[in-house]
């Protein structure tokens, strides 16, 4: 009977089996990507149940409710109904469950309220107001993040005020009274019988640490076996709670952690890699099992992952391997610009679909920042390829993008009621919903546009000033637009609408992401206005206006709803891709200051995390891995020339098949003995290094056949012909897809460098 119950052990390899069957004492499972981590985790709990351990004595902690639900389902499949009585769930959900029973010991009601982020910000805003502080300096979102970080590091308001480093940073940011806001916030929550998400951890720690009525021993005795998934993602507070539950005199210390230090990528959420690196030191008799066999990827992908991660200084040594067939080597695509990068990724996807019979759902495009999705969305739409944005909205459906575009639409067309309704009180300018409803009613009753109503009808004194300022603002946008191109107009709107200032003042990670998206939109409009590579045809138009730009994106913003599509190419950030896998993966934007991020260049620890992020990205691929970068990219309205990412140079050349650049014909580089990609730089042509500061466009009458000219984007070229319409044919030796280009001189920006 027991032999039948344990039949699932035959499905495991030798190391997996040891990890599953070693139940007593501290255990650390280092699970490389694609190594069967979830199976080990669930089979281990199933083995506990089949070995007679009471399910109520098992605490299994995860980071998502979805993971906990899936875990229970799998355990039930192997071990039966006992899975339902295992304490399996997220840190927050299980600790909330305990606090519902024990909160009265801490001075909270057991039916305490749980504040979400909006509730927390509202309380902080009220405190800032009662303290008569400048809300533009003490931004509620920033204060909330500061308090959250303090709680996650076990810093009380009293300890905060005594910490000179924290106080000095607050003084530097002109917010020396955050500690008082923190103190008042804690008192307010206690008075209201409420806890925020951070409190669910902090109050659990206090419960165990203060140990009223021996409650700590109660839960130490109950949770005789503790398992933690994704341990590399735990923060300082979570680990301290775990140690109080498992590390005490006489404890069997039956704790099993499962994770991978090489996939620790969430420091911005408070996670610390030190927890997993220190575990062997804290639990000296730990048994460590390294799951190094990768069942997901081909050998070239696995070897590339090993190549990259070995450059990190702090790590638990391991070497992942696979016995899967070799498959194709890694492909690298070099593009001259981000637009071309998007086009070439789409080209390659079409080729893979046709040549290897891949479905859309087999393919993923990964990027470092969400703002990068725009260029790939546009390229995929042109090819009519179905896609979905994972964990977020399509670029043109994001709120901040729709808000800015609504201002643009209203600038072009004052009768656009939908655009007007969207922005008339955003950012807030004191025009309430009842006023807007009244405007709509008047417009409907009199067959007028809402703009006609607000620009012609007198309102009560309270609304008159705000509406008048809004009307004046839109008229300024319209006047500016009449004599400026789409980019200059968009930049003017972004600066003066108040949206950019709103996000800058908020200062949170979410606000920073929204600013990145707005910047990406502006960069796209800049490219639209400066795209002088205009192919001449019967419909030739050099219209650079805001109206023309809005027309160019109309198919993207008005696309059919794709929610029902199941066979879709996945677009996502690398952070969102963790835990997923695809037959074909494109890791894009591999340039210095982008991946690795410019924000990570200040310390070796941050570079190491960026490298771990790249490690996660490439190990999502099963068979086809394509790495791409662009020599030039619009950033903050300027064309910037970029060096390829250092991570590309860390991949051994023996794992790379071809570097696609210059032309669409791919030739294998003449790599010698395997070494770091010092050869990589030699195998591709360097980008045109044009000094933008000293670049001076020549007048049109000086550009003639036979002259050498310089172009910011394409580098040096030779004028082959100039026709009667002032359209020049120019040969650019460093151009990628077409060396010979036809360019409208009126918008060309060419500098003559030789007669």
Mean pLDDT of 324-338: 90
Answer whether residue 671 shows pLDDT above 50: no
Q: Does residue 448 carry a pLDDT above 90?
A: no
Catalytic annotation, pick one of 102, 229, 341, 650: 229
Which of these is catalytic: 44, 374, 620, 741? 620
| Segment of 327-331, 505-509, 533-537 carrying the highest mean pLDDT | 327-331
Per the annotation, the verdict on 229 as an active-site residue is yes
**Rounded CA separation 703/716 (Å):** 14
- In the residue annotation, 317 being an active-site residue is answered as no
- Give 167-216 pLDDT, tens digit per residue: 999 999 899 999 999 999 999 999 889 899 999 999 999 999 999 999 99
Which among 390, 453, 396, 399 is positioned nearest to 423, based on CA atoms? 399
Tokens 């071990």 identify what position?
Answer: 79
pLDDT in tens, 716-725: 888 888 877 6
606-626 per-position pLDDT tens digit: 999 999 999 999 999 999 999
Residue 49 pLDDT exceeds 50: yes
Q: Between these two residues, 517 and 66, which has the higher pLDDT value?
A: 517
- Residue-level pLDDT at 207: 96
Q: In the 8-state DSSP scheme, what is residue 653? A: G
Weakest mean pLDDT among 210-224, 319-333, 524-538: 524-538
Mark whether 90 is an active-site residue: no
Backbone angles phi, psi at 332, to 5 degrees: -115, 130
Q: Which of 22, 38, 180, 508 is catalytic?
A: 38
Helix 117-130 crosses helix 140-152 at what angle (to 10 degrees)? 110
For 218, phi then psi, to 5°, come to: -60, -50
Question: Using an 8 Å Cβ cutoff, are 257 and 294 in contact?
Answer: no
The upper half-sphere exposure of residue 507, i.e. CA atoms within 13 Å in the direction of its Cβ, equals 14
pLDDT per position as a tens digit, 291-305: 999 999 999 999 999
Please tell me the distance from the alpha carbon of residue 215 to that of residue 205, in angstroms, as a whole number.
12
Render pLDDT for 123-178 as a digit per residue (tens, 0 to 9).
999 999 999 999 889 999 889 999 999 999 999 999 999 999 999 999 998 999 99
501 is catalytic: no
Residue in 644, 643, 595, 648 with CA at minimum distance from that of residue 625: 648
Please give the Cα distance from 400 to 749 (Å, whole number): 32
Q: What mean pLDDT comes out for the span 526-535?
A: 64
Integer Cα distance of 142 and 511 in angstroms: 10
**For residue 634, what is the DSSP state?**
E
CA distance 720 to 724: 14
Cα separation values, 699 from 483, 710, 745, 748, Å = 22, 13, 9, 10
Element containing residue 742 per DSSP (H, E): strand 740-744
Two structure tokens written together for 688: 């045109």
Least confident of 276-285, 355-364, 675-684: 675-684
What's the confidence (pLDDT) of residue 531? Answer: 65
Neighbours of 598 (CB within 10 A): 10
What span, in angstroms and rounded, lies between the C-alpha atoms of 364 and 381? Answer: 15
How many whole angstroms separate alpha carbon 488 and alpha carbon 493? 9
Q: Which two tokens stand for residue 534?
A: 């205009």
Cα 545 to Cα 318, 374, 489, 526, distances in angstroms: 57, 20, 9, 11
In residues, how long is the chain? 755
255-259 and 27-31 strand pairing: parallel
| The Cα angle at residue 505 between residues 499 and 511, in degrees rounded to 5 | 70
Q: What is the mean pLDDT of the chain?
A: 86
- Catalytic residue, candidates 198, 230, 362, 377: 230
Helix segments in 80-113, DSSP class H: 91-102
Residue 507 has pLDDT above 60, yes or no: yes
Q: Using alpha carbons only, give the angle 218, 235, 263 rounded to the nearest 5 degrees.
A: 125
Known catalytic residue at 38: yes
Residues 366-384 have a mean pLDDT of: 92
- Backbone φ and ψ of 225, nearest 5°: -130, 125
CB 314 within 8 A of CB 277: yes
pTM of the model: 0.76
Rg value, the chain, Cα: 30
- On whether the CB atoms of residues 323 and 591 are closer than 8 A, the answer is no
Q: How would you classify the pairing of strands 708-711 and 715-722?
A: antiparallel
Place of tokens 């490439």: 618
What CA–CA distances, in Å, run from 629 to 146, 194, 332, 346? 36, 49, 8, 14
**Is 230 known to be catalytic?**
yes
Give the orientation angle of helix 236-246 with respect to helix 274-282, to 10 degrees: 20
CA torsion sign, 70 to 76 to 78 to 79? Answer: positive
Q: What's the whole-number mean pLDDT along residues 687-709?
A: 75
Catalytic pick from 120, 220, 263, 619? 263
Q: Is the pLDDT of residue 662 over 80?
A: no
pLDDT in tens, 213-252: 999 999 999 999 999 999 999 999 999 999 999 988 888 9
| Residue of 16, 37, 62, 344 marked active site | 37
């Amino acid at each position: 009977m027991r032999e039948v119950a344990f039949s699932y052990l035959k499905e495991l390899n030798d190391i997996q089996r040891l990890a599953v069957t070693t139940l007593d004492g501290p255990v650390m499972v280092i699970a490389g990507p694609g190594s069967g981590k979830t199976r080990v985790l669930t089979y281990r709990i199933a083995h506990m149940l089949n070995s007679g351990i009471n399910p109520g004595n098992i605490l299994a902690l995860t980071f998502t409710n979805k993971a906990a639900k899936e875990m229970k389902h799998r355990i039930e499949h192997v071990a039966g109904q006992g899975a339902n009585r295992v304490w399996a769930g997220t840190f927050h959900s299980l600790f909330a469950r305990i606090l519902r029973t024990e909160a009265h010991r801490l001075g909270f009601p057991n039916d305490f309220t749980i504040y979400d982020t909006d509730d927390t910000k509202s309380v902080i805003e009220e405190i800032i107001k009662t303290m008569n502080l400048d809300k533009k300096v003490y931004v509620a979102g920033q204060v909330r993040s500061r308090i959250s970080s303090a709680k996650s590091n076990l810093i009380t308001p009293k300890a905060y005020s005594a910490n000179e480093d924290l106080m000095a940073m607050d003084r530097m940011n002109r917010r020396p009274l955050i500690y008082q806001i923190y103190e008042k916030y804690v008192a307010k929550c206690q008075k209201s019988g409420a806890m925020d998400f951070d409190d669910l951890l902090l109050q659990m720690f206090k419960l165990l640490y203060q140990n009223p009525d021996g409650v700590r021993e109660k839960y130490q005795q109950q949770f005789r076996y503790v398992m933690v998934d994704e341990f590399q993602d735990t923060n300082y507070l979570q680990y301290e709670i775990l140690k109080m539950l498992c590390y005490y005199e006489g404890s069997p210390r039956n704790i099993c952690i499962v994770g991978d230090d090489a996939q620790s990528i969430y420091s911005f959420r408070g996670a610390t890699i030190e927890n997993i690196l220190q575990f062997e030191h804290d639990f000296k008799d730990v048994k460590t099992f390294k799951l190094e066999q990768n069942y997901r990827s081909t050998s070239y992908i696995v070897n590339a992952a090993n190549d990259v991660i070995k450059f990190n200084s702090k790590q638990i040594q391991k070497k992942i391997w696979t016995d899967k067939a070799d498959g194709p080597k890694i492909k690298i695509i070099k593009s001259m610009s981000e637009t071309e990068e998007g086009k070439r990724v789409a080209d390659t996807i079409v080729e893979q679909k046709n040549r290897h019979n891949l479905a859309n759902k087999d393919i993923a495009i990964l990027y470092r920042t969400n703002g990068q999705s725009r260029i790939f969305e546009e390229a995929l739409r042109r090819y009519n390829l179905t896609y979905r944005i994972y964990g977020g909205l399509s670029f043109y459906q994001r709120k901040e993008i729709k808000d800015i575009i609504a201002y643009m639409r209203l600038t072009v067309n004052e009768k656009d009621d939908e655009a007007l309704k969207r922005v008339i009180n955003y950012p807030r300018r004191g025009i309430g919903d009842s006023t807007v409803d009244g405007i709509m009613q008047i417009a409907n009753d009199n067959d007028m546009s809402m703009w006609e109503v607000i620009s012609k009808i007198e309102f009560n004194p309270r609304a008159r000033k705000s509406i008048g300022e809004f009307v004046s603002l839109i008229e300024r946008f319209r006047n500016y637009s009449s004599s400026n191109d789409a980019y200059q107009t968009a930049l003017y709107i972004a600066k003066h609408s108040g949206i950019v200032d709103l996000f800058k003042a908020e200062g949170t990670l979410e606000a920073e992401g929204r600013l990145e998206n707005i910047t990406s939109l502006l960069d796209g409009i800049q490219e639209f206005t400066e795209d002088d590579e205009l192919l001449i045809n019967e419909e030739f138009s050099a219209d650079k206006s805001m109206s023309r730009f809005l027309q160019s994106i109309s198919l993207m913003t008005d696309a059919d709803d794709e929610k029902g599509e199941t066979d879709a190419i996945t677009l996502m950030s690398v952070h969102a891709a963790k835990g997923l896998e695809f037959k074909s993966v494109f890791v894009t934007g591999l340039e210095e200051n982008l991946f690795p991020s410019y924000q990570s260049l200040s310390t070796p620890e941050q570079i190491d995390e960026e490298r771990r992020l790249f490690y996660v990205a490439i190990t999502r691929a099963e068979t086809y891995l394509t790495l791409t970068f662009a020599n030039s990219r619009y950033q903050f309205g300027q064309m910037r020339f970029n060096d390829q990412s250092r991570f590309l140079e860390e991949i051994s050349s023996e794992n790379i098949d071809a570097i696609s650049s210059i032309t669409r014909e791919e030739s294998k580089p003449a790599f010698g003995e395997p070494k770091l990609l010092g050869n990589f730089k030699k195998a591709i042509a360097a980008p045109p290094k044009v000094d933008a500061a000293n670049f001076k466009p020549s007048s049109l009458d000086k550009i003639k056949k036979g002259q050498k000219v310089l172009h910011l984007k394409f580098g040096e070229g030779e004028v082959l012909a100039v026709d009667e319409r002032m359209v020049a044919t120019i040969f650019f030796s460093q151009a990628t897809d077409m060396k010979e280009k036809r360019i409208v001189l009126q918008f060309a920006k060419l500098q003559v460098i030789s007669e």
